[in-house]
Amino acid sequence: MKKIIIYGVFLFLADIIPLNLGFSQRQYTVEKLSFCSNKQNEFAPAFAKDGIIYCTDRKHSFWFSYSDTAENSSQPFDLYQVKLTKDFKDYKSIERLNLNTIFNEGPCCLFNSDKSIVFTRNLDATKKFGNYNKKGNTLGIFFAELKKDEWVNITAFEYNSTEYNVMHPTITADGTTMYFASNMPGGIGGYDIYVTHLNNGSWSKPENCGPNVNTDKNEAFPFIHQSGRLFFASKGWNTRGGYDIFFTLKMNGQWIKPENMKEPFSSTADDFGLILDPYLQTGFFASSRNKNDDIFRVQSAISEFENCTQQKKNNFCYVFFENGTSEEDVKGTMKYEWDLGDGTKIRGLEAEHCFAKPGKYRIQLNVIDSVTNEIMMNQAEYDFNVEEIEQPYITAPDMATIGETITFDAKKSNLKNFKIAKYYWDFGDGTKSFGESISHVFYEEGLYDVKLMLESTQTRTGIKKYCVFKSISIKQH
């Protein structure tokens, strides 16, 4: 990553996925977007209709492009919108937003069904020429509305200041809760993540997200996901090098310790600005792994879970009887007795029994002397196979508590003529993963339908898939 403007100096900014929070290193693939240049920087993606809005220092005019007059000058950043193809592998058009000035704009975030935008800008953007690095021309947050394809009614965030930077806003879809980065006095480190809430038309006093988010170093580029997960870039936690991406979420009203996102998101360079769709299937982030900042597409390798049926409970209970026999066939002390092959013996014409586990059992119906227990005659004898239901099978408790680490495994899956190649999991809380055995933690009370999909190896008729779900009840402690 080259230069991300913070106050008038340049802060050099920018890895995913703990299994217990529903991610997996192999779950995602990343690919550089085709419009990214090898010379300019592109970073800070934000979801927009048919594509993304992003920051770039590309020159927007052949004849004139403003350059900072400071001693260490650089090209200011602007906001551009790119329309992408359906698979996000190519682009249709790129357009510079009309709210740009000759100073710095971005990052941004759309909300209110994409009719409103919140973005970063230098406070003094009225000059035609000058130094945006000079004291007082700090970065602040601004709002605008979309009217007839133009951004209008630009208003400033009430907690902007000429003494420190307020930047990198991310906002909930309803526009009532906003997170941002700032180096305002009273923080934990250099730049911290703050939160503010909209009440009766006014924003509440920004509140530091605390030591489970912020460190004595820098945190920036927050993104609040629909699930409540907070993603952000930091150099203060267990980074691999440069700035890494972390995420956390609230449990019992408190942010839990952030998790570092591992490969393929992380690298030894700066990785930052991650955004993910509501289903955690597709997203974008920026990285300087190719020297300058580029935007990468994130795609889940886990396919959609379709045609899932409820997991059936294995029931190894049976009633045994022998046609053509009656109590009148035996006299005196003679009685019928079933030997069920697992050490269980039951007297009578019928025997109801539940086996403890699958297996092959030797079933016998004997006539015995009830006084001596001596077998007088063998009435019937045969082998009986107790089998599990043919289905993918989730081994997990039916109930657990919030914050408890639960192990899910598919080792008891029983599918004939089906060679399992992959195990996919959907935990019902927006997170997915894969593997024969996986650990997961739920952070909200509720009933979750956990899905397991098995995918076969390639056969002459193609790849087969089977899917079941099991309901897990999550309660408070």
DSSP string over 334-392:
EEEEEE-SSS-EEESS-EEEE-SS-EEEEEEEEEEETTT--EEEEEEEEEEEE---SB-
Weakest mean pLDDT among 143-157, 177-191, 248-262, 385-399: 248-262
264 versus 425: which is more confidently predicted?
425
8 to each of 73, 139, 163, 465, how far by Cα in Å?
Answer: 11, 8, 11, 56
Q: Any idea which residue has 């503010």 for tokens?
A: 196
CA pair distance 340, 48, nearest whole angstrom:
67
CA pair distance 332, 370, nearest whole angstrom:
9
CA pair distance 232, 275, nearest whole angstrom:
10
pLDDT band at 263 (very low <50, low <70, confident <90, very high): confident
Check pLDDT > 60 for residue 68.
no
Residue 262 C-beta-side C-alpha neighbours within 13 Å: 10
Weakest mean pLDDT among 1-15, 80-94, 148-162, 177-191: 1-15
pLDDT band at 23 (very low <50, low <70, confident <90, very high): low
Q: For position 266, what pLDDT does the model report?
A: 77
Check: CB of residue 128 under 8 Å from CB of residue 165: no
CA pair distance 280, 300, nearest whole angstrom:
8
Check pLDDT > 50 for residue 462.
yes
Residue range(s) in the chain whose domain bears CATH number 2.60.40.10: 315-386, 389-475
Check pLDDT > 60 for residue 66.
no
CA pair distance 455, 453, nearest whole angstrom:
7
What is the fold of 315-386? Immunoglobulin-like (2.60.40)
Check pLDDT > 80 for residue 38.
yes
Check: CB of residue 420 under 8 Å from CB of residue 445: no
CA dihedral of residues 211, 214, 217, 221 (deg, nearest 10): 180
CB atoms within 10 A of CB 461: 7
- Model confidence over 158-190: pLDDT tens digits? 999 999 999 999 999 999 999 999 999 999 999
Residue range(s) in the chain whose domain bears CATH number 2.120.10.30: 4-300
Residue length, the chain?
477
SS3 content of the chain, % helix, strand, coil (to 5): 0, 50, 50
CATH architecture of 389-475: Sandwich (2.60)
Alpha helix (H) residue ranges in 209-249? none
Check: CB of residue 270 under 8 Å from CB of residue 10: no
CA pair distance 35, 51, nearest whole angstrom:
12
Tokens of 373: 């227990």
CA pair distance 220, 181, nearest whole angstrom:
5
The CATH number assigned to the domain with range 4-300 reads 2.120.10.30
Tokens of 452: 């397991």
CA dihedral for 339, 340, 344, 347, sign (positive or negative): negative
Tokens of 372: 């001596």
Could you report how far apart the first and last alpha carbons of the chain are, in Å?
A: 44
- Model confidence over 323-374: pLDDT tens digits? 888 888 888 889 999 999 999 999 999 999 999 999 999 999 999 998 998 9
Q: For position 20, what pLDDT does the model report?
A: 40
Query: What is the arithmetic mean of pLDDT over 16-45?
Result: 73
- Model confidence over 400-459: pLDDT tens digits? 999 899 999 999 999 988 999 999 999 988 788 889 999 999 988 888 889 999 999 988
Check pLDDT > 70 for residue 83.
yes
The amino acid present at 281, given as its one-letter code, is Q
Q: For position 6, what pLDDT does the model report?
A: 37
CA pair distance 237, 218, nearest whole angstrom:
10
Tokens of 108: 């941004």
Which of left, alpha, beta for 71 (phi over 0: left; psi -120 to 50: alpha)?
A: alpha
